[in-house]
Amino acid sequence: MNIIISDIENKEDKSLEINFSEIIEEFNTKTPVKADLNVQIAGSIIRIKGKIHAEVNLVCDLCLKDFTKIFDIEVDEAYIKENLNSSQQKEFELKEDSFVEDLNGKDEIDITDFVYQCVILNIPNKLVCDINCNGDGNINKYIKKESSDPRLEIFKTIKIEKDN
């Protein structure tokens, strides 16, 4: 789903309400990701605020079981229509409003990609199905046991004699 920036700029209040509901295949679920978003344009800044609700199928890092994690995410992102790279200014101080994405002249924003990125950035590094999960014996079959290279077996038979 794409929104065209000029369509929002032509509106009297320069804002657009989006009720997003799509199945995102990468999340491996049959439940659609839902989002209620408000897009507002003020000058060259485009701000997207709202809430995203997603159910994502994941695999536990400890027990390797499939589980579903529910995400309720508050978003507040800003885009800028003009180019951020100014050749005249070498250094500048970063402020709270400095963290924006440059559209580089694009005339539309992909809302599906925006929602996808918001959810992906909220998935934790360590995926655990339950706070009390201690793993499972089944994971041991995937862990490589200590083994030696068969070409080095000959060195186990070598006897070293000490000189007195």
Tell me the average pLDDT of the chain: 80
Would you state the pLDDT for residue 160?
80
Residue 118 lies in a domain: yes
Sign of CA dihedral 61, 64, 70, 73: positive
Residue 158 lies in a domain: no
H-helix or E-strand spanning residue 164: none
Residue 147 lies in a domain: no
Residue 152 lies in a domain: no
Structural domain span for residue 24: 2-136
Residue 45 lies in a domain: yes
Task: Give the other-Cβ count within 10 Å of 128's Cβ.
Answer: 16
Residue 56 lies in a domain: yes
Residue 59 lies in a domain: yes
Residue 55 lies in a domain: yes
Asked whether the beta carbons of 127 and 104 are under 8 A apart, the reply is: no
Q: Residue 65 — pLDDT band, cuts 50, 70, 90?
A: confident
State pLDDT tens for residues 93-133: 555 554 556 666 677 888 888 899 899 999 999 888 888 88
Number of separate domains in the chain: 1
